[in-house]
Amino acid sequence: MSSDRELSVSVTYGDTKVDFTGSPEVVMRSLHEFISKVIPYMDLAKSISVNHSLNDLISMFRDFVRITPEGPRVWLEGKKLSDRDVILLQLVAAKVANLTGKAQTDAVSVAEIQGATGLYAKTISSRLSELTKSAQVERVEGEGGGRYRISTLGVHRLHEQLSKKFQKAQAGPALSA
């Protein structure tokens, strides 16, 4: 078989691009192997990957977070939350503001959290320390000291916590016979 009878196939799957060149038999075998072995693993890896998009965050926290002209804010309107949840929501609000282009970063300082929430700085520092130890918040070094951002795990746990809390509240008391 001469080299001018080579088959060339280019395959794009998501972010992956592969090229196969050779005899039709070799290219078909390689293509089949790629499809049967590589693609299922890529799909499996995607199925366990977590990365909350802007749409995800808005959907998950639309009842609690608002972007105002003064900046991202926790919006409670009659909801009673723990200091910990208010701090995490403020970090979610900062992340949403960053993803919408309303803020340059998703990391905020204790002073910024205090200004937005009205909580005491010592309370904020204590809760942030706990949340950092449990990997729900990440501390990043920035201008003027440490800044904090919510982690993917923090987003997940906060959503889970708020969903449970407010499903119970909406369900009302159980009726007994």
Q: Do 35 and 89 share a domain, yes or no?
A: no
Mean pLDDT, range 77-100, rounded to an integer: 91
Q: Do 26 and 99 share a domain, yes or no?
A: no
What is the model's pLDDT at position 128?
96
Q: Do 62 and 144 share a domain, yes or no?
A: yes
Residue 9 lies in a domain: yes
Q: Do 15 and 61 share a domain, yes or no?
A: no
Residue 175 lies in a domain: no
Residue 12's domain comprises 3-47
Q: Do 87 and 135 share a domain, yes or no?
A: yes
3-state secondary structure 104-135: CCCCECHHHHHHHHCCCHHHHHHHHHHHHHCC
Q: Do 51 and 99 form a contact (C-beta atoms < 8 A)? A: no
CA torsion angle 93 97 99 105 (round to 10)? -100
Return mean pLDDT, the chain: 84
Residue 170 lies in a domain: no
pLDDT in tens, 109-144: 999 999 999 999 999 999 999 999 999 999 998 776
Residue 173 lies in a domain: no
Q: Do 143 and 71 share a domain, yes or no?
A: yes
Residue 139 CB neighbour total at 10 angstroms: 15
Q: Do 21 and 90 share a domain, yes or no?
A: no
What is the model's pLDDT at position 35?
77
The residue that leads in pLDDT, 168 or 32, is 32
Q: What own/partner pairs with CB < 8 Å and gap ≥ 24 does 64-71 have?
A: 64/89, 64/92, 64/162, 65/89, 65/92, 65/93, 65/96, 66/93, 67/93, 67/96, 67/97, 67/100, 67/102, 71/97, 71/102, 71/103, 71/116
The residue that leads in pLDDT, 174 or 10, is 10
The residue that leads in pLDDT, 122 or 41, is 122
Domain count across the chain: 2
Q: Do 35 and 58 share a domain, yes or no?
A: no
Stated pTM of the model: 0.68
Q: Do 84 and 156 share a domain, yes or no?
A: yes
Q: Do 39 and 71 share a domain, yes or no?
A: no
Q: Do 37 and 62 share a domain, yes or no?
A: no
Q: Do 58 and 43 share a domain, yes or no?
A: no
Residue 177 lies in a domain: no
- CATH code of the domain containing 92: 1.10.10.10
Q: Do 149 and 135 form a contact (C-beta atoms < 8 A)? A: no
